[in-house]
């Protein structure tokens, strides 16, 4: 898992060198004097290149195709149309003058060119007229005639010839015979423009190896800034890195392996139960890999959207399934991994670690929807405040602040709310259980608990009492109260197999154990643990809940039947009357063992007093300690004393005698 995750993360990372200096325009150079490590060209600034492109685009010629047959056809049609329009009653000299004037208008019209469509080009744009893809002549766009200007052009030409009287007749003739002779050649124009754009030089000058680029304390601006950007680009370009590709790959692998190794060592030292569980380790590594994958996708697409990635979902998810400390440690490791691929890495890492800390500190009881919304609001606020502070430090003012970045933080907060359905999906995929699922299981209307209340009502009531005691005890020592409550509700479901063999369900006064030997009775009693595990698995209860069924009696002895058998045979083996175990191996399972034993035995108290209850609780729990039942649980003597105190207080309240009401 470690090796596979390492190589997958390295595969996602960009395979390029990284410039080892951080610099910002307008800020002093903090490092030592920088000399050129090799020859490199000075790249033009992006604004300068864009300006050149705009200049070329505005001055690039437009190309129009001319159809020469249109003019010939129009002149032929003109002779016929003229004869049909003007009567022979006019003097021949006048007719000849009019006909010649009309031809001049047509000649002039087609010499300038009549457009086939209306365009929005500037009047001063150069136009090249093509005839069969060969340049014929050039002009400017304002000299070309658009169809909507045709009437005014004809009237203007006739007026100059003094033929205003015949303008309407000529207009009708021309509108019948005139056709456009110029068509915009878009593909030729774009090809010619692209040829000009390709001629743009993206560099200006060069820097030789060993040349001083910038001195310590100098302000990074102007030409120095451009030289630094050019050097950085050379470091990160694929061309420069081809010879060093394997070294860069090896270095990335080392860094990623070290980070993941720290995570594994943390699990081995502080979370050994997680380290020993392949599913849980896979789950943690999968989440780290998922966050790296999403962030890499965003960086490759557009790094401006980097803060949309809801990285705080990682500590939220891990806290839901494990604990806050593991969630925070994994979040920091992930942020360190991402620091090598994101721009402005220090700012990014500062913001994300700060947000992760806020996530861990503010989100409690994730199953409560209001808590999640409040926490997401606080995370978003921290993002905005921290980013604002960084921007002011870098720029010195807020005049040029990009308010759209704040919108990205809000979108990140909204995306974080997706953690609830994500947790549900993870539960199904990895077989884990969160507090949300525990809340659902704690509902006494679930199918299994309803069946328990119908089949074994006494056991169900006992489980409710144990759940209340265990929850109060867990809250007292800071254990998982929701988990121990659910464990208490289900710990005795195995008694549904033979409910009448347990005293809390014997309502008729008949005890079936009277007809059995002590060994048989003990076997039925101890079997409720095995039966409970089988019922739990059939009903798909989580393993964390089944652990309570397995451990709530530990390896203790069914003392009543053991002593009864010992009266018959003093040498009888106590292991025949012992529960199969294992012993409790967590604070929560240890709490349940104490509460279960105390609650069950408390039913035998006669005339309970405060002194009796205190001695009773001390006796039962001390006996469990003497039998080393808590040896595998990470619970301290101080915590056990606190649990004793809670149990004594609760039992005193339960058995508090009310005043006797008169009949």
pLDDT one-digit tens code per residue, 191-219:
988 988 888 888 877 888 888 888 877 87
> Which residue would you say has higher pLDDT here, 172 or 529?
529
Task: Look at residues 429, 448, 472 and tell me which one is the last residue of a structural domain.
Answer: 429
How many angstroms separate the CA atoms of 441 and 449, rounded?
9
| 465 and 373 assigned to the same domain | no
> Which residue would you say has higher pLDDT here, 315 or 511?
315
pLDDT digits (tens, 9 = 90+) for 503-531: 888 877 788 888 888 889 989 999 999 99
Which DSSP category does 641 fall into?
A: H
How many angstroms separate the CA atoms of 586 and 293, rounded?
35
Q: Is the distance from CB of 35 to CB of 212 less than 8 angstroms?
A: yes
Q: Is the distance from CB of 494 to CB of 527 less than 8 angstroms?
A: yes
| 173 and 187 assigned to the same domain | yes
> Measured in whole angstroms, how far is the alpha carbon of residue 627 from the centre of its chain?
50
| 349 and 369 assigned to the same domain | yes
113: in domain: yes
| 420 and 528 assigned to the same domain | no
Task: Look at residues 413, 429, 445 and tell me which one is the last residue of a structural domain.
Answer: 429
Residue 78 pLDDT > 70: yes
Residue written as token pair 């780290």? 288
| 425 and 450 assigned to the same domain | no
> Which residue would you say has higher pLDDT here, 160 or 346?
346
pTM, whole model, 2 decimals? 0.62
Q: Is the distance from CB of 594 to CB of 617 less than 8 angstroms?
A: no
How many angstroms separate the CA atoms of 72 and 92, rounded?
25
Peptide bond into 480 cis (omega under 30): no
Long-range contacts of 362-368 (CB under 8 A, 24+ apart): 363/316, 363/319, 365/435, 366/316, 366/319, 366/320, 366/419, 366/420, 366/423, 366/434, 366/435, 366/436, 367/434, 367/435, 367/436, 367/438, 367/439, 367/482
What pLDDT score does 336 carry? 93
pLDDT digits (tens, 9 = 90+) for 179-190: 888 888 888 888
Q: Is the distance from CB of 361 to CB of 325 less than 8 angstroms?
A: no
| 346 and 379 assigned to the same domain | yes
3-state class (DSSP) for residue 557 = strand
Residues sharing a CB contact under 8 Å with residue 586, sequence separation 6 or more, in sequence order: 547, 633, 634
How many angstroms separate the CA atoms of 135 and 112, rounded?
15
Residue 239 pLDDT > 70: no
| 473 and 597 assigned to the same domain | yes
62: in domain: yes
Residue written as token pair 């139960």? 273
Spell out the alpha helix ranges (H) of 13-149: 46-59, 68-85, 92-112
- Kindly state the average pLDDT of the residues 142-151: 84
- Kindly state the average pLDDT of the residues 40-48: 80
> Which residue would you say has higher pLDDT here, 510 or 536?
536
| 532 and 614 assigned to the same domain | yes
Residue 109 pLDDT > 70: yes
- Kindly state the average pLDDT of the residues 50-59: 87
Domain ranges, residue 112: 56-196
Residues sharing a CB contact under 8 Å with residue 185, sequence separation 6 or more, in sequence order: 63, 64, 65, 130
What pLDDT score does 230 carry? 80
Spell out the alpha helix ranges (H) of 167-244: 167-177, 186-198, 222-236, 238-241
How many angstroms separate the CA atoms of 528 and 447, rounded?
19
Residue 470 pLDDT > 70: yes
> Which residue would you say has higher pLDDT here, 428 or 253?
253
220: in domain: no
How many angstroms separate the CA atoms of 271 and 305, rounded?
35
- Kindly state the average pLDDT of the residues 10-27: 70
pLDDT band at 595, cuts 50/70/90? very high
Of 641, 347, 260, nearest to 477 (Cα)? 641
Residue 25 pLDDT > 80: no
Residue 342 pLDDT > 50: yes
> What is the CB-side half-sphere exposure of residue 118 using CA atoms within 13 A?
4
Residue 241 pLDDT > 60: no
What pLDDT score does 20 carry? 64
Task: Look at residues 375, 396, 429 and tell me which one is the last residue of a structural domain.
Answer: 429
Which DSSP category does 302 fall into?
A: -
| 440 and 364 assigned to the same domain | no
| 528 and 641 assigned to the same domain | yes
227: in domain: no
What pLDDT score does 240 carry? 47
202: in domain: no
Residue 606 pLDDT > 90: no
| 526 and 631 assigned to the same domain | yes
* Residues composing the chain: 663
Residue 387 pLDDT > 80: yes
How many angstroms separate the CA atoms of 87 and 91, rounded?
10
What pLDDT score does 18 carry? 59
Q: Is the distance from CB of 127 to CB of 140 less than 8 angstroms?
A: yes
Residue 489 pLDDT > 90: yes
What pLDDT score does 559 carry? 84
623 phi-psi bin (left φ>0, alpha ψ -120 to 50, beta other): alpha
Give the count of domains, the chain: 3
Residue 619 pLDDT > 90: yes
| 134 and 264 assigned to the same domain | no
Residue 89 pLDDT > 80: no
Tokens at 593, concatenated: 């063992």
Name the average pLDDT for the chain.
85
How many angstroms separate the CA atoms of 354 and 77, rounded?
83
């Amino acid at each position: 898992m470690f090796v596979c995750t390492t190589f997958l993360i390295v595969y996602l990372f960009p395979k390029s060198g990284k410039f080892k200096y951080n610099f910002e325009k307008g800020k002093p150079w903090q490092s030592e004097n920088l000399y050129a490590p090799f020859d490199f060209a000075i790249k033009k600034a992006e604004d300068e290149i864009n300006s050149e492109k705009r200049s070329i685009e505005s001055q690039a010629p437009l190309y129009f195709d001319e159809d020469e047959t249109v003019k010939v056809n129009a002149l032929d049609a003109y002779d016929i149309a003229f004869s049909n329009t003007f009567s022979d009653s006019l003097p021949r000299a006048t007719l000849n003058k009019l006909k010649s004037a009309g031809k001049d208008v047509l000649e002039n019209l087609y010499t300038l060119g009549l457009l086939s469509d209306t365009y929005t080009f500037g009047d001063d744009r150069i136009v090249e007229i093509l005839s069969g893809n060969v340049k014929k002549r050039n002009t400017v766009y304002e000299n070309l005639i658009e169809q909507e200007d045709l009437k005014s052009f004809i009237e203007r030409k006739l007026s100059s010839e003094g033929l205003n009287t015949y303008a309407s007749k000529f207009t009708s003739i021309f509108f019948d015979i005139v056709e456009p002779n110029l068509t915009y050649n878009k593909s030729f124009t774009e090809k010619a423009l692209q040829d000009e754009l390709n001629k743009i030089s993206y560099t200006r000058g060069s820097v030789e190896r060993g040349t001083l680029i910038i001195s310590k304390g100098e302000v990074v601006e102007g030409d120095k800034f451009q030289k630094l950007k050019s050097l950085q680009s050379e470091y990160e370009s694929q061309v420069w890195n081809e010879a060093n590709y394997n070294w860069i790959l090896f270095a990335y692998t080392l860094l990623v392996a070290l980070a993941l190794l720290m995570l594994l060592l943390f699990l081995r030292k502080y979370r050994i139960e997680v380290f020993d569980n392949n599913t849980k380790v896979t789950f943690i590594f999968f989440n780290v890999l998922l966050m790296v994958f999403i962030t890499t996708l965003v960086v490759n697409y557009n790094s401006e959207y980097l803060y949309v990635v809801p990285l705080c979902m990682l500590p939220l998810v891990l806290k839901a399934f494990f604990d806050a400390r593991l969630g925070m440690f994994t979040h920091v490791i992930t942020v360190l991994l991402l620091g090598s691929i994101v721009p402005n890495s220090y700012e990014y890492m500062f913001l994300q670690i700060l947000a992760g800390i806020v996530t861990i500190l503010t989100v409690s009881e994730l199953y409560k929807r209001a808590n999640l919304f409040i926490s997401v609001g606080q995370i978003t606020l921290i993002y905005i405040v921290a980013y604002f502070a960084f921007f002011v430090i870098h720029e010195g003012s807020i005049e040029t602040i990009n308010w759209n970045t704040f919108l990205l933080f809000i979108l990140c907060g909204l995306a974080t709310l997706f953690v609830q359905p994500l947790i549900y999906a993870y539960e199904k995929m990895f077989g884990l259980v969160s507090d949300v699922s525990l809340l659902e299981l704690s509902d006494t209307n679930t199918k299994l608990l309803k069946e328990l209340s119908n089949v074994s009502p006494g056991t169900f009531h006992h489980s409710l009492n144990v759940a209340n005691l265990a929850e109060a005890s867990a809250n007292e020592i800071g254990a998982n109260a929701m988990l121990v409550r659910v464990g208490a509700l289900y710990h005795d479901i195995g008694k549904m197999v033979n409910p009448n063999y347990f005293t809390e369900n014997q309502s008729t006064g008949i005890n079936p154990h009277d007809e059995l030997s002590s060994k048989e009775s003990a076997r039925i009693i101890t079997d409720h643990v095995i039966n409970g595990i089988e019922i739990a698995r059939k009903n798909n209860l989580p393993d964390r809940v089944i652990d309570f069924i397995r451990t709530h009696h530990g390896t203790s002895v069914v003392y009543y039947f053991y002593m009864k058998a010992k009266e018959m045979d003093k040498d009888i083996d106590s292991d025949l009357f012992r529960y199969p175990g294992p012993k409790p191996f967590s604070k929560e399972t240890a709490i349940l063992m104490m509460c279960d034993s105390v609650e069950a035995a408390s039913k035998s108290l006669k005339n309970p007093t405060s002194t009796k209850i205190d001695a009773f609780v001390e006796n039962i729990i001390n006996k469990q300690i003497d039998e080393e039942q808590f040896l595998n649980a990470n619970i301290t003597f101080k915590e056990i004393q606190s649990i004793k105190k809670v149990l004594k207080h609760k039992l005193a309240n339960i058995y508090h005698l009310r005043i006797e009401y008169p009949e």
